[in-house]
Structure 1
Amino acid sequence: MPNVVDTIRTFNAGRDPERLAMKYANLRGNAFVFLRGTCHLFYDRLPPDALFSKAPAGWLCGDAHLENFGSYKGDNRLVYFDLNDFDEAALAPVTWELVRFLSSILVAGDALRATPADAQALCGTFLDAYAAALVLGKARWVERDTADGLVRDLLDTLKARSRPAFLDKRTDKKAHGRVIRCDGKHALAASDEARAKVVKLVDSFAAAQDKPGFFKVLDVARRIAGTGSLGVERYIVLVEGKGSPDANYLLDLKQALPSSLAPHLSLKQPAWPSQAHRVVALQRRMQAVSMAFLQPVVAADVGVKGDASYVLRGLQPSEDRVNLDVRRSSLAQIGGVIGQMGQLMAWAQLRSAGRQGSAIADALIDFGGSAASWRGDLLAAAHQCAAQVEKDWKAYSEAYDAKAIGA
C-alpha cells in the first residue's frame, strides 16, 4: 500500500502553496476533516469485492459525506437543500457512494458527539431512508415548503438573509461601490494576471446572456473554501448584478480537475468536452433544480492560454450547512437530517437513471427492495473503510507534526 504522505503530496502537487498549506493544516485537525480532504485516498483503499462490482451503476456525486449536503439558491431563485458538490462525479456502482457516506458518519462520531452505538444507529437511519426512497421510485426534492427539522430552520434563516447583509459580510464599501474583503478566512488577494484571466472567462459567459452588463466584473479574489479543493485555482468574483453597491452579486469560479474516482473506474464514461462539462452536466442531471449561473467555461475557447476548464456558479457560502452536533441539536434531530440525506441520494440516482450507462429506475427500485441482502455487508465495509481512514490520519498526523509534509 503506497505511503500516505507521498500519495497526498503527489496528488496535491502544483496547487497554490498558500492555500495548500491551509489544507495540510486542516487535514491534521481530525479524521473526519482528513476523510473530506482525501477523497482520492479513500478510493485507493476501497475493497475490490463483489459488493462494489455487482451493484447497479449510477451517477454519483463521488464525494458523498455529511458536509457535502447543503443549501443553495437555484436558477429559479428558490432555496434548496441537496447534494451540492460534484467535482468527483462519475458513473460507478451505487455502493461506492453509500460506503463513503456511511464511513463519514462513523469517522465523524466525535464531531457529531455520538457514541459508536449512536453512529451505527445513524448509519441504519440513512440506509432505511435511502432504500425506502428507491423503492418508491419517484425523485423528489427538499425546499423550504417541504423541509422540516434542522433543514427547515436552515432554509428559513437563508430566506430571511438580505443581499446587502450578505455583501457586507464578504465585501467592503469603497467610494460608490464594493471590493471583496481579503480577510485570510474567505478570500486572499489575486494577482493582476489572475484578475485579467478571470475577467476574460466571465466576459465570455456574459456575452451569451440576455443582460451581459449584469456580469461586469468589479473585483476578483482567490477563494478559500472546502477542504479537498483547497489550493485548486478558485476565485470569488464580484459582479455588477442589479447595481452597486447593494445589488451586486458574488460568483464562484473554480477549476475542474479529473475525478478522484477516474483511476479506479471500469465502467465506460462519456467523452466530455472538458472536466467542467462533466461536473456541470452531472450536477444538472442529479439536482432537481440547478444552482444559479451554473455554467462550464473552457479557457482555450475564450483565448486564455492553457487547456483548463472552470465551473462558474453563484457563490454558495460554505457555512450554509446544517450543524450536526448534539451539543446544539438532539440526536433525534440529527437523525432526521441524515434520513433526508439518504432520500436525497436516492432521488439523485433515480433522477439520473437510464442515462449514458446508468441503471434504469427499475433496477434501482429492485436494489432498494433487496436491501436486507446487502445491508450487513455494506455496513461491514464501511467500518473497514472508516478504520483505514483513522489509520491513515494517524500516519499523516505523525508526519505533519514531524514537519515531513508541507506546501
Structure 2
Amino acid sequence: MTSRTDFLCDQLRLIDGTVPSNQHPLNKHTKMTWSPFQFFRGSAQIFYADLAGGVLKLPDLLFAKPGQTFIMGDCHLSNFGFMTEEGSQSDQVIFAPNDFDDACVGYAVWDLARFLTSLSLAGDFARGLLEGKYLTDETDIDDDLNAINDDDVREASQQFLKVYLKTLAQVIDREETRFNVLQSFDDDHVLYKYSRKAAKRSAGGKDFYSKSQLAKSTLVEDGKLRFADKPGKYVRLPSEEYAILKTTFRPYLDDEVLDIVVRIHAGTGSHEAMRYYFLVGPGDCRSIEDLPLCHIVEVKQQRQAAPIFSFPDLSPVNTLNPAHLTADCQRFMQRRPDLLLDEVVWNNQHWLVRSRHHARLSVKPEAIILNDTSPEQYFCEYAQACGEALALAHARGDRRSTRFEQFMVQLLPEQTDAIIEACLTYARQVIEDYEIHCKLMAE
C-alpha cells in the first residue's frame, strides 16, 4: 500500500519533475513551505488525485454530464483579480478569474470545492501568520491585526455558493446576463479601492505612466524603449537566442519586437515554467510619451492542466495540446478575451502567447484575512464577488442554452452543506500534507 508521503512525492514529481528535497530544492517547493495555503496553490494535481481516489468526497449528484462546463481548474481566492478586457487593447477594467493555466472541460463542482477549500486554508493562514507559524512577503505582521475565524470561513463559504446560485438563476431568467461583468463596487466594498487603483493603471488612467505593469517594467535609454534591469525578475538573453525568439514569435505579435527577456520566479503553480516577456510596439518609439502604443506579451511554456492527469478521458476537448486548450478555455470563459491570444509549437514544447494587462491587479489574501478591526466583512464580500464572477465564467461555457444553469440551480442548493463540510475536512488533509512536504524539504 502506497504511503501518503510516497503519494505526495509521485504527484509533485508529475508536474515539477522532482520530489521535495533540500539537496537541490526548487524555488517553487521552497515557497510551498511558507504555509498550507501556499502549498495548496502549488499542488493542484494533488487535489484532483484525491478526488479520483475518494479522499475528497463530493456529492455524486453533481457529477452528471449537464454539470460539466469550462472550468478554471485551479480555482482559489488568489486566482481572481482586476484586468482590462481584450488584454492591453482596452481600458475597461473588470474583476474576474485571471488564471487559466489549469483550465479545461470539467465539473463545475470541482471549481466550487477548490475555492471553498482555499477559504478554509485562508482562515488557517491568517491565524498562523499571527502566531508566527507561517511566512509571507506581502505584509508586516503586528499585534494590532485581527484574523478571520472558523465561523467567518463558514459564513463566507455559504455566501460564495449563495451568490453563485443567484447568478446562475439570473442567467436562466435572462440569458444575456451571462455577459455581465463585475466592474463597479460601492465605496464601502472591499474591492472598491482596488477597482479604482486598477482603473488608474489602465492606458487612459492617471497612473499609467508610473504604476502600470508596462511602466514599471520598462525604461527609455538612448532613445529606445526597453525592459528595465531587474535582477531576480528579468534575465537578459544571449544575442543568438534573442534572434531565434524574435524570428519565431514575431508572426504572432501585432507590432515590432522592441526587447525580449526571460521572466523568472513568477507564479506559484507554474513557478518553474519557462516564460519570456516580449516588449511590443512601433519600431519608432523614442520616448515615454509613446508608452500607450506598446504592451508586454508573455510567451509561456504550457503543461497539461492539473485535472487531466487524474481524469484523462473526461472530454475529447481536453486532448487538445496544453496551450491550445488554455487559449480556448480563456476565450469561452471571458466575455471579451485578449485580442492577442495564441498557441505555438516550438522546440517540441507548447507555448501560450498572450498579452499582459496594463492594469492587472490581484488582491493579496493577507489583505482580506487580516486587518486592525474586523476582517470578516471584507472576507465575506470578497467570497461573494468571486462567486458571481465564477458563475458568469461557467455560464459562458454554453451560450446556446441554459441546461447547465438549470442543472446546478436544481441540484446544488440541497448539497451546499455537504460540499462545505467535505471541503472543511479536506483542508485538514492539506495541512497534514503540508507538514509532510516541510519534513521532506528539511531532510
Output the CA distance in 2 between the equivalents of 1:278 and 1:28. Answer: 31
The equivalent of 2:386 in structure 1 is 341
Contact 2:298 2:354 in 1 (8 A): yes
Structure 1 residue 40 displacement after superposition: 0.8
SS at match of 2:329: helix
Cross-structure match for 1:260: 306
- The residue that corresponds to 1:251 in the other structure is 297
CA distance in 1, matches of 2:11, 2:241: 29
Query: C-alpha separation between the residues in 1 aligned to 2:105 and 2:215?
Result: 41
Structure 1 equivalent of residue 155 of structure 2: 121
Counterpart residue number, 2:178: 139
For residue 178 of structure 1, report the CA deviation from its aligned partner.
3.5
Q: Which runs of 5+ in 2 are unaligned?
A: 127-146, 172-176, 202-206
- Partner in structure 1 of residue 371 of structure 2: 327
Identity of aligned pairs, percent?
21
State the alpha-carbon separation in 1 of the partners of residues 315 and 14 from structure 2: 26
Q: How many angstroms does 1:192 deviate by?
A: 4.2
Return the alpha-carbon distance in structure 1 between the equivalents of residues 184 and 76 of structure 2: 25
Q: Deviations over 1:199-236 (max 9, x none)?
A: 13430113xx4xxxx33232323243210101111122
Secondary structure of the residue aligned to 1:270 is helix
Listed one character per residue, the Cα deviations across residues 173-196 of structure 1 (whole Å, up to 9, x for unaligned) are: 422224323434433334445433
SS at match of 1:5: helix
Give distance in 2, aligned partners of 1:119 and 1:331.
8
One-letter amino acid of the counterpart of residue 53, structure 1 = F
Q: For 1:5-404, what aligned pairs fall within 5 Å after superposition?
A: 5-13=9-17, 21-46=26-51, 47=54, 50=60, 53-54=63-64, 56-75=67-86, 76-112=90-126, 113-137=147-171, 138-145=177-184, 149-161=189-201, 162-165=207-210, 166=212, 167-192=214-239, 194-206=241-253, 209=254, 214-241=255-282, 243-246=285-288, 247=291, 248-265=294-311, 266-270=313-317, 274-291=321-338, 293-299=339-345, 304-315=346-357, 320-321=362-363, 323-327=367-371, 330-353=375-398, 360-402=401-443
Identify if the C-alpha distance between structure 1 residues 153 and 69 changes in structure 2 by more than 3 Å, giving closer, same or farther: same
1:3 partner SS: helix
Deviations 1:23-61 (A, max 9, x none): 111101001011111011111112366256337112101
Is the 8 Å Cα contact of residues 131 and 369 (structure 1) preserved in structure 2?
no
* 8 A contact 1:187–1:221 mirrored in 2: yes
8 Å CA contact 2:82, 2:195 repeated in 1: yes
Contact 2:31 2:38 in 1 (8 A): yes
The residue number in structure 1 matching 2:204 is none
The TM-score, its normalising length taken from structure 2, stands at 0.78
The Cα offsets for residues 230-268 of structure 1, whole Å up to 9 and x where unpaired, read as 111112222235834421422222122111111222422
- Distance of aligned partners of 1:278 and 1:232 in 2 relative to their CA distance in 1, 3 Å threshold: same
Residue 405 of structure 1 is matched in structure 2 by none
Matched residues, number: 384
Q: Partners of 1:20 and 1:200 in 2: how far apart?
A: 34
Which runs of 5 or more residues in structure 1 are unaligned?
403-407
Query: 2: distance between equivalents of 1:316 and 1:10?
Result: 34
1:372 is displaced (CA, Å) by 3.1
Hey, what's the Cα distance between the residues in 2 that align with 1:27 and 1:318?
A: 24
Deviation of 1:121 after TM superposition, in Å, equals 1.2
Q: What is the TM-score normalised by the length of structure 1? A: 0.85
Superimposed CA distance per residue, residues 131-188 of structure 1 (whole angstroms, 9 cap, x where no aligned partner): 1111222314335446762323212112223333134422344222243234344333
Q: In the aligned structure 2, how far is the partner of 1:366 from the partner of 1:184?
A: 51
Match of 1:400, SS? Answer: helix
Distance 1:228 1:124 in 2: 27
Query: Which shows bigger deviation, 6-15 or 76-85?
Result: 6-15
Cα contact 1:144–1:156 (8 A) shared by 2: no
